[in-house]
Structure 1
């Protein structure tokens, strides 16, 4: 059975286009391929924009969303989530030559902060940097580009994705500090999808036999 899996292809190390091959690569590709091996399904990865992805999932346009998605009670009202596969914290990504701490940037009226639209990062950014106008980009790649070209001074992002962008841009960025904690990432399915339980069973097996830990280490989700 073929399952259609939505990915952004703009969120390393979860999913991005490998410049060498022009193909999609990342933790999501490896993990979903492994899950399908165990469930006897064939993944068909389809690029989808983040904006509007939850209504699309709710309507069943895709069988599964693999995009380093944070579980929230709010989202769980309209879509189904798998068991979490990793825990993340939110940080402020800055240019390598930035001297200000997170606290100093919060106090600096001129500091410009960016993030991705419709994410828990956006919520955290607005909560932490109260009174600041947060610039929300279509994807994190665009936010990171704006940071690189000094249009903004910091990007609120999960530690794992931050590490992905730091790896892609050797020596260009660093973390200024943590701003929020304790979120979990999971796969997303349309409401009442049969896939949810099946994927959970595969994830449990992958946890038990060490495959999940291997994948998490390979892509830098855990040290």
Structure 2
């Protein structure tokens, strides 16, 4: 079973995502274990402080290294071989090929979700990989972590059920977008399903799908 642990100040954000649909089924069927670690529990002092002003000045607050470090240590105790991943705009751009690679690994992952203006750089001593979901900034790493975990879990063999469910999807070859697809009814408000898809001629259907797939931008 693959373990995914998320270090976050907002574990409740993951309740709906982890408790529904494919994610819920993957856990029920024993393919993955999804859990959160509340960073606040490792905060300092009576107020469980997790952030402070940056040395050298500047706007905003940074997550302190001590609470983060202890939270990751806890996660490592739960899964000693897990790789530590941090969500950051400066990280490697997430792609389908990476999702496939991560899904094939036999170790778990610990995701660190940043907040505020970032984190004390010293936490990077524990980090194995920096990841980004795009060239834009969000208020925290929770949404990117959800996106990345979803894209990995669905590729773990058995999770989607169908043998070829993930094989024909967009970006499955690293660059091609999936062809258009249709289901019943054959006609809707004047829009008809292409005749070739109703023909039962598999070679012609394969050719049509190849023609109507396109390269990603």
Q: Do both proteins adopt the same fold according to a TM-score greater than 0.5, normalized to the shorter chain? A: no
Shorter-chain TM-score bucket reads under 0.3
- The structure, 1 or 2, with the larger RCO (C-alpha pairs under 8 Å, 6+ apart) is 1
Q: Give the TM-score normalised by structure 2.
A: 0.27
Bigger strand fraction: 1
